Amino acid sequence: MKHISQYLSLVKFSHTIFAMPFAMLGFFIASWRFGLGAVNWSLLLWVVLCMVTARNAAMAFNRWADRTIDIKNPRTRTREIPSGEISSQSALWFIIINSFLFVFFAYQINAVCFALSPVALAIVLGYSYTKRFSWLCHLFLGLGLSLAPLGAYLAVAKVFDLLPLLYAFAVITWVAGFDIIYAIQDIEFDKGQELRSIPARFGMDKALWISTCLHVVTAVCIVSCAILLHTEFGMSFLMILGSMLFLVLLFYQHWILKDHNLNRINLAFFTTNGIASVVLACFTILDFYF
């Protein structure tokens, strides 16, 4: 059990809460658009398994790729690989197994998802090296998580559409915005190691301003999605309430950091954004049925 908990900690399994709700949105929107709400539960299981294994591979690869960097950073040197709790070789096998399982599960869904699975893996694994050459790494992280609503929608529909694309773009700017906030903790370390990030490139004040601008774009995307949902499906109160609560929590994280209190970063990063994504998905999906 202890070994399992170490691997769950390695991949920060609790952070699955960021992308999984958007995958559920993509899945249920497609189910209502093409199946009048009939849910294929076996298909949903394959989608969830794809989500879990892709994220396991991506997060573990990020930890493996950063192992020589993490050991130098006081904030990260206690992570599983630098501390020796999990060996580098064991982590690599974990990545390989989860990558293989992701492709296998995508094969169980449909030919489109299977064909695109290597592309998805390349994106989510490739993020780990972007900080070495570009301060736009935050957007690349967002791109990786944005595959959640797109992939889940494709699992049902087998084609792209405007609504999941808008949710995907919302995820890109949302994740990039809160990842910038999280990266503020490592400004001096990143500069010393010549790592690229928006806080290291522009400083704290400008980084927070850029994060706010990205979240304004997120808000526009979420409002646009709400309008499309109302227009096509006649959704109203619950969906609108969920969207409004998401927006409130989105900007709440900026309010609690207005005095540059870095002790509140975990509250802004994990708690607020985790609640926001779950609330948005739950209220929107409930509106389909009620």
Domain boundaries, given as residue ranges, for the chain: 2-289
pLDDT of residue 2: 46
Q: Is the pLDDT of residue 68 over 80?
A: yes
pLDDT tier at 12, thresholds 50, 70, 90:
confident
Which class is 2-289 in CATH?
mainly alpha
Give the pLDDT confidence of 52-64 residue by residue, as tens digits.
Answer: 999 999 999 999 9
Q: Is the pLDDT of residue 260 over 70?
A: yes
* Burial letters 208-238, b for 16+ CB under 10 A, else e: bebbbebbebbbebbbbbbebbeeebebeeb
pLDDT tier at 93, thresholds 50, 70, 90:
very high
pLDDT of residue 153: 97
Q: What angle do CA 51, 97, 43 make, to 5 degrees?
A: 35
pLDDT tier at 259, thresholds 50, 70, 90:
confident
Mean pLDDT of 78-102: 93
Q: Is the pLDDT of residue 14 over 70?
A: no
pLDDT tier at 157, thresholds 50, 70, 90:
very high
Q: Is the pLDDT of residue 268 over 90?
A: no
C-alpha–C-alpha distance, residues 153 and 148, integer Å: 9
Give the pLDDT confidence of 36-53 residue by residue, as tens digits.
Answer: 778 999 999 999 999 999
Mean pLDDT of 257-264: 77
pLDDT of residue 88: 93
Q: Is the pLDDT of residue 131 over 80?
A: yes
Mean pLDDT of the chain: 92
Predicted structure pTM score: 0.94
Return left, alpha or beta for 234; rule: phi > 0 is left, psi -120 to 50 is alpha, else beta: left
Q: Is the pLDDT of residue 266 over 80?
A: no
Tokens at 184, concatenated: 């503020």
